[in-house]
């Protein structure tokens, strides 16, 4: 099935699918759900239907929605199951391979990832649970891209189904909430990787589900399950530990006091302390606390932007990654609020583009992106910030009702993640925005609840159109990101076929997926402190890649070649000249950007004599 066929199938299926019953007027989206009071008793049931119709809707919800969501998730992600390893994927694959050989030493190897060889325990800033999962897949099914991507579909399915289960707690429209969260660039791009982010969020969602349902009936088995899942989330990605204070605040607001249930929070605290001690003994430093120090060091080294600049870029990433909020904005906010949000967004975009705020490390990217014109990037930035402001409004509206535990939980979840992603993390990126997307989907559905969403065919078509538009663009972004990933694998294959290695070494700069593939056939990463080149060696330098800007002076080059790979999509997820920086805002102030199709360039040089990379790099710096 081609990409266009998938989009066509999705666009046709979404607005037309309805339960196959004789009640043809029943809404597909208005699924029966129960909303609970502070004490856990049901207080809201759908009105306007007979008991027979309610039963049919409830049967649809429980029997068919999960299957529908599984189907749409697989429909969106299976086409990308063969994509090349990308960005930080190799770190997780290499750690998984290490675990397969040495299960109790996940980071006990050296890697060149930042200019010179370092212990993996110094390079990675993530805990190893996702790597253990990769090791289990690789040991059984092999280490191919398809095997690992198919294995990582399970966390993606867990995330989607968990979001639906959690949404039933907060809204009468859980299917809208879940599909609105799924069909976003933040979820689909992240779920196409073999990194830890989606797995962490899946544990997060199910930990919240078991905790809230455990409090309903005082089920201790649910609460202990939740505490274990919370621990798994934190050991998959350190941000997962933020769920602990969130659930604590929710529980206190709901119960109005501390109770015996608070003791279950000791489980993740004790296990994380044990992890701290274990890594300290094993690697000489506590990796949990080291990850938090990393953000402060990076911001200090690269130049911390001002509060307004961080807020504008943070809103841009939230808006771009939570794209469904853009198409729902006309449903959930009044025209007055939308006009105010659009005006504020335009002012913010102008301030960022003109440098009227202290840009910090965004300065070079902003100047380069707006050099050839400001209309196209300015419009995209305005729309992205506008969508981020809409999401922010939804979160603030919930926090204004902070005495209600449900509103407090959702508002803190969304706003807290926004603060972390925009101001506390080492850079803004789609992976750090990802945790707030399910909350945003739920808040969009809750807003429809408050506006008394009318489950008629006309309203269904409008909602279906909004979801379809978000889904089409999100799949387009995912396709563009996958094409970029695949281009590095293609470049590696072409270079391997065309160069004559002979007895000489092949060196390369740059990292990410390109490093993974060229190392498979024997190329060596340049260590700027230790690598010793000689005449006749080959040096490969990718133009648009991490730490790849060092080129030897002409006197060191005997022959040179240039490999160009033209990408087809007028859309980029990482292109600093377009302002796109999905994986790091150091590359752009948008998570993705429309523009001219990019060209990936790789310089292939034959060295004429020994070249000291360290001296050249120091001189260029």
Helix (H, G, I), strand (E, B) or coil at 85: coil
Kindly report the number of other CB atoms within 10 A of residue 256's CB atom: 10
Res 245 pLDDT > 60:
yes
| pLDDT value of position 210 | 97
Mean pLDDT value of segment 93-100: 97
Secondary structure element (H or E) that encloses residue 562, with its range: strand 557-566
* Average predicted confidence (pLDDT) for the chain: 86
Of the candidates 115, 89, 142, the residue with the CA atom closest to the CA atom of residue 516: 89
CB neighbour class for 40 (10 Å; exposed up to 12, middle 13-18, buried from 19): middle
| pLDDT value of position 552 | 83
| pLDDT value of position 375 | 87
Mean pLDDT value of segment 542-551: 73
| pLDDT value of position 304 | 81
| pLDDT value of position 602 | 94
| pLDDT value of position 56 | 42
Mean pLDDT value of segment 399-421: 95
| pLDDT value of position 460 | 78
Q: How confident is the model at residue 620 (pLDDT cuts 50, 70, 90)?
A: very low
- Least confident among 315-319, 531-535, 536-540, 583-587: 531-535
| pLDDT value of position 16 | 39
| pLDDT value of position 532 | 84
Q: CA 210, CA 222: separation in Å to the nearest integer? A: 5
| pLDDT value of position 186 | 97
Res 49 pLDDT > 70:
no
Percentage of residues in the chain having pLDDT higher than 70: 86
Q: CA 258, CA 270: separation in Å to the nearest integer? A: 20
Q: CA 150, CA 164: separation in Å to the nearest integer? A: 22
Kindly report the number of other CB atoms within 10 A of residue 619's CB atom: 9
Secondary structure element (H or E) that encloses residue 575, with its range: strand 574-575
Q: CA 395, CA 389: separation in Å to the nearest integer? A: 10
Partnered with residue 560 across adjacent β-strands are: 605
Interior CA angle at 586 toward 575 and 425, to 5°?
135
Q: CA 614, CA 443: separation in Å to the nearest integer? A: 52
| pLDDT value of position 288 | 87
Task: State pLDDT tens for residues 461-509.
Answer: 889 999 999 999 999 999 999 999 999 999 999 999 988 767 789 999 9
Q: How confident is the model at residue 455 (pLDDT cuts 50, 70, 90)?
A: low
Interior CA angle at 267 toward 262 and 271, to 5°?
150
Partnered with residue 524 across adjacent β-strands are: 507
pTM confidence score: 0.89
Strand 538-542 vs strand 506-508: parallel, antiparallel, or unpaired?
parallel
Task: State pLDDT tens for residues 155-193.
Answer: 999 999 999 999 999 999 999 999 999 999 999 999 999
Write the CB contacts of 574 (distance below 8 Å, at least 6 apart in sequence). Answer: 87, 484, 544, 580, 581, 582, 583, 584, 587, 588
| pLDDT value of position 614 | 56
Write the CB contacts of 208 (distance below 8 Å, at least 6 apart in sequence). Answer: 166, 226, 243, 247
């Amino acid at each position: 099935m081609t990409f266009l066929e998938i989009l066509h199938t999705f666009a046709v299926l979404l607005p037309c699918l309805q339960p196959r019953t004789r009640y043809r007027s029943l809404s597909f989206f208005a699924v029966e759900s129960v909303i609970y009071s502070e004490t856990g008793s049901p207080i809201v049931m759908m009105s306007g239907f007979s008991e027979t119709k309610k039963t049919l809707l409830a049967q649809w919800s429980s029997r068919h929605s999960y299957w529908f969501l599984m189907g749409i998730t697989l429909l969106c992600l299976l086409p990308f199951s063969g994509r090349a390893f990308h960005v930080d994927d190799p770190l997780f694959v290499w750690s998984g391979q290490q675990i397969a050989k040495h299960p109790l030493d996940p980071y006990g190897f050296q890697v060149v990832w930042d200019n010179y060889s370092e212990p993996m325990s110094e390079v990675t800033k993530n805990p190893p649970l996702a790597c253990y999962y990769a090791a289990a897949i690789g040991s059984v099914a092999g280490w191919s891209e398809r095997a690992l991507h198919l294995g990582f579909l399970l966390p993606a399915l867990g995330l989607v189904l968990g979001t639906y289960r959690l949404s039933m707690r907060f809204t009468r429209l859980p299917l809208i909430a879940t599909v609105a969260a799924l069909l976003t660039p933040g979820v689909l791009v992240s779920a196409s990787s073999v990194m830890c982010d989606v797995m962490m969020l899946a544990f997060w969602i199910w930990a919240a589900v078991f905790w809230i349902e455990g409090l309903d009936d005082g089920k201790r088995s649910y609460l202990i399950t939740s505490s274990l899942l919370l621990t798994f989330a934190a050991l998959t990605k350190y941000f997962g530990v933020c769920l602990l204070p969130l659930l604590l605040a929710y529980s206190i607001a709901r119960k109005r006091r501390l109770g015996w249930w608070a003791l279950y929070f000791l489980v993740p605290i004790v296990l994380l302390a044990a992890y701290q001690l274990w890594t300290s003994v094993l690697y000489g430093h506590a990796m949990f606390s080291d990850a938090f120090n990393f953000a402060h060091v990076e911001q200090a080294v690269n130049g911390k932007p001002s509060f307004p600049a961080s807020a504008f870029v943070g809103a841009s990433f939230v808006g771009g990654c939570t794209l469904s909020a853009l198409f729902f904005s006309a449903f959930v906010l009044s025209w007055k609020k939308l006009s105010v949000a659009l005006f504020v967004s335009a002012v913010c975009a102008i301030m960022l583009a003109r440098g009227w705020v202290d840009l910090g490390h965004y300065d070079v990217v902003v100047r380069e992106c707006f050099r050839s014109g400001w209309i196209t990037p300015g419009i995209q930035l305005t729309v992205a910030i506008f969508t981020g402001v809409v999401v922010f409004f939804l979160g603030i509206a919930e926090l204004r009702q902070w005495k209600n535990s449900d509103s407090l939980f959702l508002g803190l979840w969304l706003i807290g993640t926004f603060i972390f992603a925009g101001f506390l993390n080492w850079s803004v990126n789609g992976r750090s925005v990802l945790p707030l997307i399910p909350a945003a989907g739920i808040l969009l559905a809750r807003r429809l609840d408050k506006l008394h969403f009318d489950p008629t065919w006309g309203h269904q078509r409008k909602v279906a159109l909004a979801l379809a538009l978000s889904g089409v663009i999100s799949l387009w972004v995912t396709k563009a990101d996958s094409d970029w990933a695949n281009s590095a694998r293609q470049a590696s294959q072409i270079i391997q076929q065309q160069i004559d290695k002979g007895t000489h070494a092949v060196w390369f700069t740059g990292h990410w997926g390109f490093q993974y593939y060229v190392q498979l056939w024997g190329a060596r990463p340049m260590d700027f402190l230790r690598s010793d080149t000689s005449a006749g060696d080959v040096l490969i330098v990718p133009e648009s890649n991490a730490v790849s800007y060092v080129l030897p002076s002409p006197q060191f080059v005997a022959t040179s070649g240039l490999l160009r790979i033209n990408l087809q999509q007028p859309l980029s997820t990482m292109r600093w000249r377009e302002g796109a920086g999905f994986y790091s805002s150091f590359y752009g102030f948008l998570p993705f950007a429309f523009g001219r199709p990019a060209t990936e360039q790789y310089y292939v040089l034959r060295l004429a004599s020994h070249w000291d990379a360290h001296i050249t790099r120091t001189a260029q710096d």
